[in-house]
Amino acid sequence: MKVAGLFAGIGGLESGLAAAGHESLMLCEIWAPARAVLSARFPDVPIETDVVDLKALPTETEVVVGGFPCQDLSQAGMTAGIAGKRSGLVGHVFRLLDQRPVPWVVLENVSFMLHLDKGRGLRTLIEAFEERGYRWAYRVVNSLAFLPQRRERVLFVATTTDVDPAAVLFSSDAAAHDPDTTLSTHAHGFYWTEGIRGLGWAPDAIPTLKNGSTVGIASPPAIMLPSGEVVTPDIRDAERLQGFEAGWTEPATTVGRASLRWSLVGNAVTVPVAKWLGEQLANPGSYDAHRDRDLASDGRWPKAARFDGDRRRGVEIGKFPVWRERPALVEFLRFDGKPLSERATRGFLSRTDRSTLRFLPDFLERLRRHLDYMEGGGGLFAPSYELSAVAAE
């Protein structure tokens, strides 16, 4: 299909759709560092600056896609809801659809939007689509199905065609894989900025890459390697953990500081997730109506749901549409990480002292050894902070 990409970021959705055979007609992105990446990676595609100023979609558009700004919907943000100043920009999608109807729409956002303000943001979206004659389906999909990153996002598909959007999103379901790991055999990702409540722990994977800040304060996760080394990953591995080629965001450094690359990667749509969706759009499967469930009477939204043109229904299905085999995290990483700083390590350990969280055996002890090493007074533990030859190949 012919794609118009709104809120394109660094082109995660569009790259995945292109890998599935779809073609971008236009991209729209307001942030200059992201536009620099788009210009370099999609040199033949026109790029518009601001969706607010966009007069109309290209005439040939068959699907509008957008990972619309999630700051107001994010659990970590101001939780202003769908009408927030930035997330309210999704209203321009409907303005453009009213001017030039398009048969397919694909939106992506954080999974917390299902719960925020009792789901008001999602309710606003679906009512707007239903008023315009669209059937819709949505599903929470975890990037861990494809790559060693635990990242849950809502994929929302709406259409005015005869194709059932449920056949796009719900035709496959795979069992979750819980790896049998130990600290001495596998890498474990965690967020050093936490430690009191949600640890953000991920065995043989990293927790969700965060976007840091738009002024360039990076917020990479930490990774405890089997050797005992505790590092933050190189930005090139962060790109790869989102399914991009290493160095994908480097063009952003022509218009901003290098640390902004973390924000670009953290905001992006995981490429193989978008590719899977693109393949489903091109070749929908079938939907088993036995998965239908009644929606909760209190208005809460489930992890998956659909509207068939007559009735809204919940859908009983998991977060893994497939499960793709991948190397262990320690083997996936290609570039030397940076040792987690003394300050970051000490802060995390201080928070864990005040928490009731439970950790893997020896996890905190390894962190204390890492802190000793960073302070220069340990002597018992002197990691090289270089990936093994096998992992670096």
153 neighbors 143 (Cβ within 8 angstroms): yes
Q: What is the spatial distance between Cα 366 and Cα 384, in angstroms, rounded to a whole number? A: 15
Sheet holding 47-48, edge to edge: 47-48, 23-28, 2-6, 63-66, 104-110, 152-159, 135-142, 304-307, 312-315, 292-293
Of 4, 26, 27, 70, which residue is the catalytic one? Answer: 70
> In whole angstroms, how far apart are CA 3 and each of 6, 106, 118, 250, 321?
10, 10, 32, 25, 23
235 neighbors 249 (Cβ within 8 angstroms): yes
Q: What is the spatial distance between Cα 72 and Cα 335, in angstroms, rounded to a whole number? A: 34
**Residue carrying the six token digits 């939007």:** 113
| Cβ neighbour number for residue 139 with a 10 Å cutoff | 26
Q: What is the spatial distance between Cα 127 and Cα 69, in angstroms, rounded to a whole number? A: 19
Q: Could you confirm whether 70 is annotated as catalytic?
A: yes
106 neighbors 155 (Cβ within 8 angstroms): yes
269 neighbors 9 (Cβ within 8 angstroms): yes
Residues marked active site are found at: 70
